[in-house]
Amino acid sequence: MTKPNENEQMIIGKNPVLEAMVSEHSIHKIYIADGINKSSIQKLLTSAKEKGIVVQFLPRKKIDQMAESLNHQGIIAQASAYDYVSLDDLLSTAKNKQTTPFIIMLDEIEDPHNLGSILRTADVVGADGIIIPKRRSVGLTSTVAKTSAGAIEHVPVARVTNLAQTIERLKKEGYWLIGTDASANQSFDKVDYNIPVCLIIGSEGKGISRLVRDKCDFMVQLPMKGHVNSLNASVAAAIMMYEVYRQRGF
C-alpha cells in the first residue's frame, strides 16, 4: 500500500469511485476492505476489470487509516489529483452551450464540506462551473470529492489568482455579478436571473470581501426571521442557485 503523492489523491466511498470511473478519471488502484459484501460492489468490480484497474483487498483497519475517519464504505481509490480548468476554458464552454451562462464564484470558502456541497448543488441545477481563489481557499481535496457525491467529476472548477481581476473579465464577457450580504436592501428573489450571471458566495465567517463586494452589480440578502444572523455558506449558495434554476424554468 502506497500513500498518494502531491500528484495523487484518494477518492473515498463507493459512489465517488464509481463516478470517477464513469467519467474516465485516471485511477491507479482500488482498495477494498476484507469482508465486504461483493454483491453490493459488483458493478464497481466489473468496471475495474474492464478498465484494467488493479483491485487490492486490505484489512478494514488499514482502510480506516487511509480514510482518516471519513465514511469510506470499505472502498478507496488511489487516483490522479483532480484537475482544474482554466478560466478561458470555463467561459468558453459556458458560452458555447445552448443555455444562458451561469457561474458561481466562491470568495475564500475554506471548509471542504461546504465546497463539496456547493459542487453537488451546482451539478443538480446545471451551473456551468465554479471559480475559486488560489489563496485562502480550500481546493479539490478528497474530502471535497466525498462530500460532492460525485459532482466533482462533472462541475468544472477554475482556480484564479485574483478575484477582483476575474470579475472585471467576467463583466467584459457580459456577466452580471450578484453577491450576498445580510445588510443588502434587495431580496435575492427580486433580481432577474435570466441573464449571464455569476453568483458570489462569501466565506463562512467574513462573508464577501470589501473589494469583491464593491465590484458586484447587485448585492442581495436572504431574508431571515430567526435568532441567528447568517446561513451556512453551502446553504446560502443552494438557495441562490435554486432561485436561478426556478426563474429559468425547472
Q: What are 132-143's pLDDT values in tens digits?
A: 998 888 888 878
Q: Which of 75-79, 102-106, 157-161, 163-167 shows the lowest mean pLDDT across its residues? A: 75-79
More confident site: 201 or 20:
201
* Domains defined for the chain, CATH in brackets: 8-80 (3.30.1330.30), 87-247 (3.40.1280.10)
Residue pair 143/119 in contact (Cβ under 8 Å)? The answer is no
Residue 147, SS3 per DSSP: helix
What letters, b where the CB count within 10 A reaches 16 and e where it falls short, cover 128-147?
bbbbbbeeebbebbbbbbbb
Q: Which of 24-33, 178-187, 234-243 shows the lowest mean pLDDT across its residues? A: 24-33
Asked if the model's pLDDT at residue 188 lies above 90, the reply is: yes
| 130: its cell numbers | 465554479
Residue labelled with grid coordinates 471548509:
111
Residue pair 145/115 in contact (Cβ under 8 Å)? The answer is no
